[in-house]
């Protein structure tokens, strides 16, 4: 009843319209196995190693184990498991145990087509718009939906990889007798991205970065401005992910001596896969944090503050800022900047800033460092990439060399 008050409807309200049953995992009212089914399964030669009477309960147990220790991982895994559970129950009307290899391949193709088809050509039962909602709608709101738009090929492969991992675990703990995903590839054969981003475009040029700094300098002197000045400079200097920044506390800062004299301030960062890495905290990024701490009534001597103090907090408090609030705050800043730049007649940069998100600061960090001649392996270490191939997107592209050969060579 608590979920009904928050969300507004249950699966049991939706026999005539399955799209109304698209609700968050915690509000999903899934049919449980009856007592006879549970008894038969428990009496099997090799009974399940988890005590789950429904797919929802099994997913919840998987999340509790696989997502433990990393809020970012938990949210990412919950999103993909939640989407697949809703799809299998509402689109196909099947439990996980009833799914076939063809069903799993159909889900992969469904992910690739969602939001990219005309409604007249959409080959599935529930309309596309029923699955897609506006960005940043709270999970308890009736307008919440599991998707905010079409997925890129990379996102489709990630979604399939997570669900494959889920079913591999189900088979390992004998919740399911077999894993149908083992026979399904990650890449959809039905989808070709006609507008793929073949070069990294989610980066601010050096001139655009200067526009950001100039805009920050013109904002009124208050806590919100101090926070944004720190966030922008720190994120661009360190290349940290949004989820990594909101987890940072004073306890994560530490000092080490330099071989040539003096000291260096470093940050311990918990990244993907529960891996820690050391990230430099340059002096030019420390000054905005000192000013921001002063607005919060904290010491400008950063390490003298209580260890549990978050580096980024909700306004008027010293309580941590949520990832969602962090994202909205930065997006609002970019929209305001876009309006200012547009008023000055620069439509190209205005459109760029309108599209920008916090992750662009991470890309900008990597791109600017690589362009400055920093070895790619050091950029990889800073950004916490598992593969050097991922970091190579920040190096000078063949397309830029082609442009120089055609344009610059001709000008000469």
Structural domain of 325 = 206-411
pLDDT higher than 70, residue 40: no
283 and 397 co-located in one domain: yes
User: Alpha helix (H) ranges present in 67-172?
Assistant: 71-86, 101-113, 128-131, 153-172
Q: What percent of the chain has pLDDT over 90?
A: 63
Q: Is residue 10 in some structural domain?
A: yes
pLDDT higher than 70, residue 188: no
178 and 215 co-located in one domain: no
Q: Is residue 176 in some structural domain?
A: yes
pLDDT higher than 90, residue 233: yes
> pLDDT grade, residue 12 (50/70/90)?
very low
**Residue 317 contacts residue 260 (beta carbons within 8 Å):** no
pLDDT higher than 80, residue 244: yes
**Cα(176)–Cα(167) distance, rounded to whole angstroms?**
8
**DSSP letter, residue 319:** S
Task: Indicate which CATH number applies to the domain containing 218.
Answer: 1.10.443.10
pLDDT in tens, 41-100: 444 556 789 999 899 999 999 999 998 878 888 999 999 999 999 999 999 999 999 999
167 and 221 co-located in one domain: no
Q: Is residue 196 in some structural domain?
A: no
Picking from 215-219, 249-253, 375-379, which range would have the lowest pLDDT averaged per residue?
375-379
Beta bridge partners of 249: 310
**Cα(218)–Cα(398) distance, rounded to whole angstroms?**
38
pLDDT of residue 186: 65
Question: Average pLDDT over the chain, rounded to whole?
Answer: 86
The verdict on pTM exceeding 0.75 is: no
**DSSP letter, residue 264:** E
């Amino acid at each position: 009843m608590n979920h009904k008050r928050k969300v507004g409807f249950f699966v049991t309200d939706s026999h005539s319209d399955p799209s109304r049953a698209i609700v968050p995992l915690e509000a999903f009212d899934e049919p449980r196995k009856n007592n006879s089914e549970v008894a038969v399964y428990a009496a099997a030669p090799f009974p399940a190693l988890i005590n789950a009477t429904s797919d929802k309960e099994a997913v919840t147990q998987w999340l509790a184990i696989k997502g433990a220790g990393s809020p970012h991982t938990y949210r990412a895994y919950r999103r993909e498991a939640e989407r697949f559970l809703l799809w299998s129950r509402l689109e196909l009307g099947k439990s996980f145990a009833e799914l076939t290899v063809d069903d799993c391949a159909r889900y992969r193709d469904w992910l690739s087509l969602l939001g990219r088809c005309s409604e007249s050509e959409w080959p599935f039962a529930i309309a596309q718009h029923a699955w897609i909602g506006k960005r940043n709608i709270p999970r308890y709101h009736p307008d919440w939906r599991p998707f905010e738009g079409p997925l890129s090929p990379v996102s489709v492969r990630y979604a399939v990889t997570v669900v494959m991992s889920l079913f591999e675990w189900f088979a390992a703990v004998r919740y399911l007798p077999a894993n149908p995903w083992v026979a399904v590839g990650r890449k959809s054969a039905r989808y070709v991205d006609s507008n793929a981003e073949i070069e990294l475009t989610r980066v601010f040029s050096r001139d655009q970065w200067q526009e950001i700094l100039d805009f920050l300098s013109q904002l009124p002197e208050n806590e919100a401005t101090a926070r944004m000045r720190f966030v922008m400079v720190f994120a661009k200097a360190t290349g940290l992910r949004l989820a990594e920044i909101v987890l940072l506390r004073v306890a994560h800062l530490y000092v080490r001596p330099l071989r040539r004299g003096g000291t260096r301030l470093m940050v311990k960062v918990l990244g993907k896969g529960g891996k820690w890495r050391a990230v430099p905290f340059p002096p030019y990024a420390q000054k905005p944090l000192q000013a921001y701490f002063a607005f919060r009534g904290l010491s400008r001597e950063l390490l003298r503050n209580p260890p549990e103090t978050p580096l980024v907090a909700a306004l008027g408090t010293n309580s941590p800022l949520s990832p969602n609030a962090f994202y909205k705050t930065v997006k609002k800043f970019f929209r305001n900047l876009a309006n200012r730049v547009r008023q000055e007649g620069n439509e190209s940069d205005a459109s760029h800033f309108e599209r920008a998100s916090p992750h662009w600061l991470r890309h900008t960090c990597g791109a600017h460092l690589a362009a400055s001649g920093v070895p790619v392996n050091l950029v990889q270490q800073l950004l916490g990439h598992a593969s050097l191939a991922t970091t190579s997107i920040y190096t000078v592209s063949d397309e830029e060399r082609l442009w120089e050969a055609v344009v610059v060579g001709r000008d000469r």
